[in-house]
Amino acid sequence: MFEFLWKTKVSHSQSNANKSATQPDNTERSSAPSTQLHFDPNLVSQLLADHQTLRGVFGDIVIAMKLKDMGLVKEKLDKFGDELNSHLLKENVRFYVYLEHSLKNDPESAAIMLGFRREMQQIGKVVVDFLHKYTTEGDWNEAMWQGFQQEVGGIGNVLTKRIQKEESTLYPLYLPQQDYR
């Protein structure tokens, strides 16, 4: 039922990771205009690894849900929230800020990046509300379990689509500054 969590665009993800990993050494010193934020040739690889971790933890949530193990579900939801917050912080501070400055002379790419950033803010709020709802509630009755099962499927679908879009459209915009001149 949740097979979509484990399906990844391996060849695309690997090609993006390889592209970032093969950047020349001098790109590490490339900073975004008007900032001290430097291009990090390993950042996209780190973000891709975060996606894999998030998929794995989400899969653990699904397994715990099928076992109807409320304690384990809450534990995995907490772990998912921690991993997601770490990932979003990394994207917001290191990825988006760099792109925002680097894409100043490329309005089309800047608009794509801004659209992704706004969309993720909305998705993040929904996910945080979901996590809060199901980690702060006491013992779950049958209606709570049913609601959780429905919502977790929707959350999984949205996050899976978002990850695929980030990996195919957004992450390729992250390039050393001189590539935009």
**Residue 12 in domain:** no
| DSSP three-state, residue 31 | strand
Can you give the CATH number for the domain in which 124 is found?
Answer: 1.20.120
What predicted TM-score, i.e. pTM, was given to this entire model? Answer: 0.79
| DSSP three-state, residue 38 | strand
- Based on the structure, what is the number of domains in the chain? 1
**Residue 79 in domain:** yes
**Residue 122 in domain:** yes
Structural domain boundaries, residue 47: 38-180
Query: Is 21's pLDDT higher than 70?
Result: no
**Residue 7 in domain:** no
Q: CB within 8 A of 117, min separation 6: which ones?
A: 92, 96
Residue 140 pLDDT: 87
Residue 139 pLDDT: 82
**Residue 54 in domain:** yes
Overall average pLDDT of the 127-135 stretch: 95
- H-assigned helices in the chain: 10-21, 43-66, 70-90, 97-102, 107-136, 142-165
DSSP string, 122-159: HHHHHHHHHHHHHHH--S--HHHHHHHHHHHHHHHHHH
**Residue 8 in domain:** no
Residue 36 pLDDT: 73
Query: Is 32's pLDDT higher than 50?
Result: yes
Which has more pLDDT, 19 or 151?
151
pLDDT digits (tens, 9 = 90+) for 43-99: 999 999 999 999 999 999 999 999 999 999 999 999 999 999 999 999 999 999 999
Residue 138 pLDDT: 82
